[in-house]
Structure 1
């Protein structure tokens, strides 16, 4: 991390440059309201904990709700240092509940309700049976009222068996704020759980500030008072927590969506005409269907921001082409919940996107990245060599909750192991090749080939290449409006990828996805092939080898233009 980056992420640097965004995490909503007044906030779902606020509200009202809710939670028995588990449908009121807990000095733990009951129970057990806030749907589905699972169960929207209604605690005094210090644990989120029970990620005030750094500074440089921000993020995700500092610092009108369905998102964006949109790459892919429609909901956008995963070139092209601004930009942040943004890239051309697996430059995210051979741990210094990506930076998390051994395994000589494979270009940019656990033996650069096929077949919404139990490539696809896929068009589009048979066509809702709507490849593999996998007949090329293909019946080299 650069000296400038260290200063900007320090408490004194934040106070000078971030304004209200430098407040303690539990006080960010109040700081934003005090600094900027009634910042408009538009929702796609009403708050479960305050439906009377409606869909058109403001941050001053939300700040008041946070203060009031902190009183309710205090009366329910939540005290400084306690953990509050929040298990409810994605909505901005999840963040209001988390802020209310943090205002008391408690630690909110945000848990996505999509997990199966056994996973939810394992996470609650790892949290020590905490006081838990949930909605009736989660209480019933996961059996949260079971004896011993929680210290106390509170329902936000009803009176499910075993849950006490949150409204029962109204009318009591609100205690003074007592937020935790920067070096202390302030919140918990979780990983996607692609390889088992998700890991609980510990965030300190300093780590969340470090993850907010590039967003706050970018917003100050690129956005003005006439801009409108739109987001479509899941509210159990680390990015939603770090984004609060950005809102507090900038004080701009905000369309906060949690439903990526084009039927819901399209009309809202057509109404509010955002100038910056942030969501996950797979959501942008789903929005291709209305990007160039008659309502032109994206016409006013000048900054498209996707985070955590690499976007498909076709998606980047469609988004840029949908804007009527003179010079729109697609900003792509490669990130993980444990680190925040690792690298950042920008694309401006409406015609030629290039290889979207080039995810940018770490220095733009105030990070340092190195590549190592996973077998020896030796640094790979020559550009073009493939290895495991390791990172240092201001947003590194505080460890995995109740798993010190796993936390220690992730560190390597002071660098954090991301588990991703990639290479470095001669100009320092990082090229992402995929997760080590998702490797496809016959197609080492499987992510790039997915991009190529998606660009050739616009009727596809998503494409996933996996290993079958014998180590041969298998393909799963979803199509726009669930239409059948023409076998001849598929054969023509994949003629230069030997061994790639016709895909299995699924609906989008049949794909197992993470909190960022990214396909959980190991879970999808288990869904399709429940029997144990066998070792592939042809081992993959050794890491560090510059080749993209292997001997035998392998796909040809990637086309020059992706």
Structure 2
């Protein structure tokens, strides 16, 4: 397909033709602190205008500038965006082109995204955690994107010369093409002069990211400047106690390709904190970096916090100054919250659990303090209660998965959310997007129970649910009761007992007597399967790919759920 064939008469690419209506919001209250733009192409420039000397420090050099400084001011990062816009324009990128970024995790992914959006192109940020079986379909859905990648992902994602020709308009390699035909060396583009900014209209597609893909090929999620700005309202607000402050030193360890990072960039225009951008949470240097910088605010993926538990007990107290922890995406384990709250030397540190989705941003929030997670092995796990929507902004309900009728408080049902900022489309899958919409309501794909106070207790993902009980609850309880475990996953298997899969610190053999004691009083489980932590198949957001794990360990088995809303 040629580029001309892929476009509509208004020059919009056919892959971005479908667009559903969405609610938008300009501010939460008349006194709210709000992001100053919804366009990521100018976010770092606006942040630099307001706080030119504020610093973002990375844990390693940028792949696009390997000799550059680790610590750069907002103004210097904005200049890096201008430089990258020049490279992309020299490559041939023009308005409405898609620019796929598939490279090693680093803050420079955000630089490339901002640069593409500054040209009026649509950045499509892809995780490098998957192989050719996922990378190729995602590239195909984007209809001949320009691709920015590196040597490691050329190999891991099977991007050979034929793939470059078939699936991309042009492909640039940030660390040299190794004499491969069809690739452009980034060094050949350096020094090009960027054109002036040409942002997409506020209601048009501005950025594409993707979901985690726990059950198959991830969905490519489209957002506009309007929808992103609506999502960023929650983070930008001056919340008492839990709000992010300009004085914070924010240690941030999230995937920079993820939707979460998009509205983070927008919030910088309003808040402007100092940041520590961690690209590899398992790198040995991270501990020394945290000790040296002593952050006051730490945000990471739930499973990154789990992997950091040993570091939280380090005598150097790398988390000693932390006043607030934030975990996004999913439920967090009780043991993990307890460990990190005890790692702070503050009188009353707080943990904010923010349940979110790529399609909608933050859905629910709930704070924790030390006393709320003090009891060990408690049922139901306190972290199953994910909290409440932002008052006056979001609404939540549960519905019967068969009839679609709302269920009563206290009854389990499929969770639906209604709030501003919902995504516009799934690229290449309009029917899938339409199936998850019910007017202003959106099917999250989760089962839960709303209590009489309006808080949601999550039960399970629909496809991962148990007929009686909750896999999420069992995992939290077992992890809390078995102190040497580093991961516990309970797999639902139709016609059989749920199968627990565990890993342990230093791969020590699981003590079966301890296991018997830990499972006392729990629903009957199959015998545990022990594997190494590295053997759990994970998404780019470190979630365990449960379907793949079940198929690997229990071949031929089926789940209880069917995944219609996944």
Is the TM-score greater than 0.5?
A: yes
Question: Which aligned pairs between 1:434-513 and structure 2 lie closer than 5 A?
Answer: 434-441=460-467, 443-468=468-493, 470-513=495-538
Number of the residue aligned with 2:27: 8
1:75 maps onto 2:90 in alignment:
yes
SS in structure 2 at match of 1:331: strand
Question: Which aligned pairs between 1:152-167 and structure 2 lie closer than 5 A?
Answer: 152-160=170-178, 161=180, 162-167=182-187
Number of the residue aligned with 1:269: 290
Number of the residue aligned with 1:311: 332
1:114 maps onto 2:139 in alignment:
no
Alpha-carbon distance in 1 for matches of 2:392, 2:126? 27
Question: Which aligned pairs between 1:384-403 and structure 2 lie closer than 5 A?
Answer: 384-403=410-429
Query: 2:122 touches 2:207 (CA, 8 Å); kept in 1?
Result: yes
Number of the residue aligned with 2:308: 287
Deviation at 1:278, TM superposition (A): 0.8
Deviation at 1:350, TM superposition (A): 4.2
Query: 1:110 touches 1:190 (CA, 8 Å); kept in 2?
Result: yes
SS in structure 2 at match of 1:500: coil
Alpha-carbon distance in 2 for matches of 1:234, 1:270? 22
Deviation at 1:489, TM superposition (A): 0.8
Alpha-carbon distance in 1 for matches of 2:150, 2:498? 41
Alpha-carbon distance in 2 for matches of 1:505, 1:98? 40
Q: 1:364 to 1:261 in 2, by over 3 A?
A: farther
Q: 1:178 aligns with which of 169, 176, 198?
A: 198
Alpha-carbon distance in 1 for matches of 2:405, 2:424? 25
Number of the residue aligned with 1:370: 397
Number of the residue aligned with 1:431: 457
Q: 1:419 aligns with which of 436, 445, 469?
A: 445
SS in structure 2 at match of 1:178: coil
SS in structure 1 at match of 2:281: coil
Query: 1:234 touches 1:516 (CA, 8 Å); kept in 2?
Result: yes
Deviation at 1:220, TM superposition (A): 8.5
Number of the residue aligned with 2:236: 216
Identify the range of structure 1 (190-199 vs 75-84) with the bigger mean alpha-carbon deviation.
190-199
Q: 1:532 to 1:425 in 2, by over 3 A?
A: closer
1:100-147 Cα distance to aligned partner (Å, 9 max, x none): 000101000011112121211111111012111101111123232323
Alpha-carbon distance in 1 for matches of 2:176, 2:387? 47
Identify the range of structure 1 (262-271 vs 473-482) with the bigger mean alpha-carbon deviation.
262-271
Q: 2:209 aligns with which of 177, 183, 189?
A: 189
Query: 2:38 touches 2:226 (CA, 8 Å); kept in 1?
Result: no
SS in structure 2 at match of 1:137: helix
Q: 2:347 aligns with which of 309, 319, 326?
A: 326
Alpha-carbon distance in 2 for matches of 1:220, 1:53? 38
Query: 2:130 touches 2:539 (CA, 8 Å); kept in 1?
Result: no
Deviation at 1:300, TM superposition (A): 0.5
The answer to which structure, 1 or 2, has the higher relative contact order (CA under 8 A, 6+ apart) is 2
Number of the residue aligned with 2:5: none
Alpha-carbon distance in 1 for matches of 2:232, 2:43? 13
Deviation at 1:236, TM superposition (A): 1.8
Alpha-carbon distance in 1 for matches of 2:370, 2:391? 20
Identify the range of structure 1 (409-418 vs 350-359) with the bigger mean alpha-carbon deviation.
350-359
Query: 1:199 touches 1:401 (CA, 8 Å); kept in 2?
Result: yes
1:18 maps onto 2:34 in alignment:
yes
Alpha-carbon distance in 2 for matches of 1:41, 1:408? 39
Q: 1:358 aligns with which of 385, 390, 394?
A: 385
1:150-204 Cα distance to aligned partner (Å, 9 max, x none): 1111001111313111121223321001112221111101112222221110011
4+ aligned runs moved over 6 Å, structure 1: none
SS in structure 1 at match of 2:289: helix
Deviation at 1:468, TM superposition (A): 3.7
Query: 1:9 touches 1:210 (CA, 8 Å); kept in 2?
Result: no
Number of the residue aligned with 2:218: 198
Alpha-carbon distance in 1 for matches of 2:518, 2:60? 40
Give unmatched runs, 5+ long, in structure 1. 541-562
Alpha-carbon distance in 1 for matches of 2:201, 2:211? 24
Query: 1:214 touches 1:366 (CA, 8 Å); kept in 2?
Result: no
Number of the residue aligned with 1:207: 227
Deviation at 1:475, TM superposition (A): 0.9
Number of the residue aligned with 1:556: none
Identify the range of structure 1 (472-481 vs 457-466) with the bigger mean alpha-carbon deviation.
472-481
Number of the residue aligned with 1:545: none
Deviation at 1:230, TM superposition (A): 0.9
Query: 1:46 touches 1:54 (CA, 8 Å); kept in 2?
Result: yes
Deviation at 1:429, TM superposition (A): 0.7
Alpha-carbon distance in 1 for matches of 2:39, 2:372? 44
Alpha-carbon distance in 2 for matches of 1:280, 1:223? 17
SS in structure 1 at match of 2:382: coil
Identify the range of structure 1 (322-331 vs 188-197) with the bigger mean alpha-carbon deviation.
188-197
1:519 maps onto 2:544 in alignment:
yes
Give unmatched runs, 5+ long, in structure 2. 1-23, 375-380
Alpha-carbon distance in 2 for matches of 1:205, 1:66? 18
Alpha-carbon distance in 2 for matches of 1:377, 1:56? 52
Number of the residue aligned with 2:100: 85
Number of the residue aligned with 1:233: 254
Alpha-carbon distance in 2 for matches of 1:197, 1:318? 34
1:438-477 Cα distance to aligned partner (Å, 9 max, x none): 1123x42121121111111111111100124643211111
Q: CA RMSD in A?
A: 2.2
1:304-363 Cα distance to aligned partner (Å, 9 max, x none): 100110111111111111111111110001111111111110111246356110000113
Identify the range of structure 1 (135-144 vs 300-309) with the bigger mean alpha-carbon deviation.
135-144
Query: 2:536 touches 2:549 (CA, 8 Å); kept in 1?
Result: yes
